[in-house]
Amino acid sequence: MTIVAETRQRRDTAPTVTREEIDRRTRLFNGFCAGVLIAFAVIWLVPIAWAVDTSLKPNAETTNPTWMIENPTLESYRTLLGQGDIWNWYASSFITSTLTAAATVLTASMAAFALSRMRFRYRWLVFWFVLIGIMIPQQVLIVPQFKEFAALGLLNTYWAVIIPQVPAAIAVFIFKQFFDGVPRELDEAARVDGAGFFRTYWRVVMPLSRPVVSAVAIFTFVWSWNNLLWPLLVMTNPKLMTIPVGLATVQGTYGIRYADTMASAILGALPLVLLFVFFQRRIVEGIAGTGLKG
Amino acid sequence: MTTLTAPDRPAEQVAPALRDADVQPGHGRPALLMMAPFLVLYLLFIIGPTLYMVLMSLFDTSLVKEGLGSWAGLGNYAEAFGDPAFWESMWHTIWFTILTTPPLVVLAFVLALLADRVRRGRWFFRLAFFLPYVLPSAVVALIWMWIYTPELGLLGRFVTALGFTEPGWLGDPDVAMWSLALTTVWWTLGFNFVLYLAGLQDIPRELYEAAAIDGAGPIAQIRRITVPMLARTTSLVVVLQVIASLKVFDQMYIMTSGGPNFSTRPVLEYVYDVGFTDFRVGYASAVSTLFFLVVLAVSAVWVLLTRRQEQGL
């Protein structure tokens, strides 16, 4: 309210503020904004740049810390890749994250299709039942799930990492929201032509839902890849550890070999950085469109 | 291009009716078949464990012995309420949430606002702010432990160059939580930044133009147009942030192991310690259940707030 009064007053006393003057002020302000923004962006990139910088030095020279790299070397990367542990972690992370993402997309989209398109009794009950799951954070369930997987004899298997991450209620919810927006005429036409429900889902609705399929797939993959707490509990065999568990477990053993430590961090980050660079737009649109958060 | 549905629809639209208006014969069996893979996994690995957790919290269940163990009634809950270690860890989780939520919301908003005004190079800002978010917590922890290394670390030398004494970033009980909060702000800011950027793009440009013609400067435009128009986005960002911060575990586990002297141990690490180090699964279940209730309460508050916003509009 006060602003309106102020501006009105200003206009009364100085009616000569021209369009050009306002444009000039706006340009000045925009320039200032750009300056502040660039400063923050640079600050944000410093830790990553510093990690890369350190990883390219010989271990002995990291204790005299300058940005200058006097003797650039890939020795740390060579050592880590030569030890072989990291290859096992890559394999573990890749297998579990890919299977988790694929299984989540498939099971959640099928359930969402039924909830969106099929007129069965107690539909409302099933939907409420699924909605409850959104309120249950996975981290709360580590104790009972651990007991469960111990009883099933599945500890230290990929299944222990994959299975509990698959039934994600939020994925069903996101798919259902999207399917509700896909025109019904298309799948009703397919049904009239004699296609069954599954065929309609697979051949008509899913091909129309590529944006949401890729968003859910990418996010499930990233979360699964970055998950620490649960894999830490169920993967105690160093050969089966995922990247985060491996890094968290061996960090103590590097001691003051800072270049090795930073090289391991860079190697651990690399697959997701590549994924991000390739799918930047999809990832950003996915967040903006669904408000997903791990 | 953004064909995904809006996240913050009215709660009334999101919540389904409590009955089925149009049941059609012959849909039941195929529907059950299509939902079966999800529902079976969901029952066995989400709902089942949730109920089992509540059940175990009433027993003295052990990690290494079969079965539930002896009946404890509400004894585990009474023990938690009487244990200073539980209250401390709960407080650390809440303190961490208080430290991280305001900067993660306000800074993300300000930076998105600035980025929205800059025409060129938006991809660069998105890259700079969002890149850390896709890094695994372990990678973030390793990088920041190096930055916080006493005497050799980047931050310590920066502070020393400015003429201050370097604090014990992770070693001083009074400082450690602030250091962890700083790392977390750096790590997860990009997510809120992108949410705000999307919200800003939905505000019609004509509003700003009209305001500019009326003589409103940039600051007045932000206060009178941008902030009120982003109220919904802000409520979403805040609740997602609070829930994400409450679930903190990784940073503490790797960077401080909950130390020094348990001064940064969050409630999830307390669950981890009593359940998987002391093998007291019954007690750990009781603590998990209490923590679950806190998260539920936050979600409930948010639902109520959005309802009120709907009615207010």
* Residue B107 counted as domain residue: yes
- Chain A neighbours among B 236-255 (CB < 8 Å)? 236, 240, 243-244, 247, 249-250, 253-254
DSSP B224: I
In chain A, residues with a C-beta closer than 8 Å to the C-beta of B295 are: 135, 137, 140
Q: What is the per-residue pLDDT for B236?
A: 83
Peptide bond connecting B136 to the previous residue in cis, omega within 30 degrees of 0:
no
Q: What is the per-residue pLDDT for A252?
A: 65
Dihedral of CA atoms A202, B1, B15, A120 in degrees, nearest 10, equals -20
In chain A, residues with a C-beta closer than 8 Å to the C-beta of B45 are: 145, 148, 163-164, 166-167
pLDDT grade for A16, boundaries at 50, 70 and 90: low
Q: Which amino acid is at A38?
A: I
- CB-nearest to A265 from B139, B195, B271 is B139
* Closest CA of chain A from B88, distance in Å: 18
* Residue B296 counted as domain residue: yes
Please answer yes or no on whether B268 and A229 come within 8 Å at the CB atom.
Answer: yes
* A83-95 pLDDT per residue, tens: 878 889 999 999 9
Q: Exposed, middle or buried, A281 (CB in 10 Å: 0-12/13-18/19+)?
A: exposed
**CA B57 to CA A140: how far, in whole Å?**
13
* Residue B268 counted as domain residue: yes
Q: Per DSSP, what are the bridge partners of residue B60?
A: none
More confident residue, B247 or A69: B247
**3-class state of residue B307 by DSSP:** helix
* B131-180 pLDDT per residue, tens: 999 899 999 999 999 899 888 888 888 888 888 888 888 988 888 999 99
The percentage of chain A sitting over the pLDDT mark of 90, rounded to a whole number, equals 33
* Residue B215 counted as domain residue: yes
Q: What is the per-residue pLDDT for B14?
A: 47
Q: What is the per-residue pLDDT for B169?
A: 87
The structural domains of chain A, with segments of one domain joined by +, span 19-75, 78-290
Residue of B nearest to A137 (CA): B292
Residue of B nearest to A228 (CA): B250
Contact yes or no for B193/B112 (Cβ under 8 A): yes
Q: What is the per-residue pLDDT for A17?
A: 64
What mean pLDDT do residues A55-68 have?
Answer: 78
CATH number at residue B254: 1.10.3720.10
Residue of A nearest to B281 (CA): A143
- CB-nearest to A272 from B114, B118, B134 is B134
- Chain A neighbours among B 117-146 (CB < 8 Å)? 117-118, 123-132, 134-139, 141-146
In chain B, residues with a C-beta closer than 8 Å to the C-beta of A265 are: 138-139, 142-143
Q: What is the per-residue pLDDT for A166?
A: 95
Instruction: Give CA separation, B168 vs A186, B70, B96, B175, B253, in Å.
Output: 64, 46, 18, 7, 18
Residue of B nearest to A6 (CA): B216
Of A34-48, A223-237, B150-164, the poorest mean pLDDT is in B150-164
* Closest CA of chain B from A158, distance in Å: 15
- CB-nearest to A120 from B23, B149, B291 is B23
Q: What is the per-residue pLDDT for B19?
A: 67
In chain B, residues with a C-beta closer than 8 Å to the C-beta of A262 are: 142-143, 146
**CA A66 to CA A62: how far, in whole Å?**
8
* Residue B22 counted as domain residue: no
* Closest CA of chain B from A92, distance in Å: 15
Residue of A nearest to B243 (CA): A137
* Residue B16 counted as domain residue: no
Domain residues for the domain of B215 are 84-312
Of A19-28, A261-270, B13-22, B282-291, the poorest mean pLDDT is in B13-22
Residue of A nearest to B14 (CA): A177
* Closest CA of chain A from B195, distance in Å: 5
In chain B, residues with a C-beta closer than 8 Å to the C-beta of A197 are: 30-31, 34
Closest to B237 in 3D by CA, of B284, B199, B181, B281: B199
- CB-nearest to B114 from A36, A132, A273 is A36
* Closest CA of chain B from A73, distance in Å: 19
Q: What is the per-residue pLDDT for A3?
A: 45
Alpha helices in chain B (DSSP H): 11-14, 28-42, 48-56, 75-82, 84-117, 122-130, 137-147, 154-161, 176-201, 205-213, 218-221, 227-229, 231-246, 250-255, 267-272, 281-312
What mean pLDDT do residues A37-56 have?
Answer: 91
Please answer yes or no on whether A248 and B128 come within 8 Å at the CB atom.
Answer: no
Residue of B nearest to A245 (CA): B138
**3-class state of residue B71 by DSSP:** strand
**Domains held by chain B: number:** 1
Is pLDDT above 50 for A36? yes
Is pLDDT above 90 for A43? yes
pLDDT grade for A290, boundaries at 50, 70 and 90: low
Q: How many CB pairs below 8 Å do chains A and B form together?
A: 346
**Residue-wise DSSP of chain A:** -HHHHHHHHHHHH-TT--HHHHHHHHHHHHHHHHHHHHHHHHHHHHHHHHHHHHHTS-GGGGGS--S--SS---HHHHHHHHHSHHHHHHHHHHHHHHHHHHHHHHHHHHHHHHHHH---TTHHHHHHHHHHHHTS-GGGGHHHHHHHHHHTT-TTSHHHHHGGGS--HHHHHHHHHHHHHS-HHHHHHHHHTT--HHHHIIIIITGGGHHHHHHHHHHHHHHHHH--HHHHHH--STTT--HHHHHHHHGGGGTT-HHHHHHHHHHHHHHHHHHHHHTHHHHHHHHHHH----
Please answer yes or no on whether B254 and A121 come within 8 Å at the CB atom.
Answer: no
Closest to A275 in 3D by CA, of A97, A126, A144, A152: A97
Please answer yes or no on whether B291 and A286 come within 8 Å at the CB atom.
Answer: no
* A85-121 pLDDT per residue, tens: 888 999 999 999 999 999 999 999 999 999 998 888 8
* Residue B240 counted as domain residue: yes
Q: What is the per-residue pLDDT for A11?
A: 47
Q: Per DSSP, what are the bridge partners of residue B59?
A: B71
Q: Of A12-16, A195-199, B286-290, where does the model show the most confidence?
A: B286-290
**CA B159 to CA B286: how far, in whole Å?**
44
| Strand (E) or helix (H) holding B15 | none
- CB-nearest to A48 from B23, B131, B217 is B131
**Domain topology for A78-290:** MetI-like fold (1.10.3720)
**3-class state of residue B4 by DSSP:** coil
* Residue B12 counted as domain residue: no
Residues of chain B with pLDDT under 50: 1-14, 313
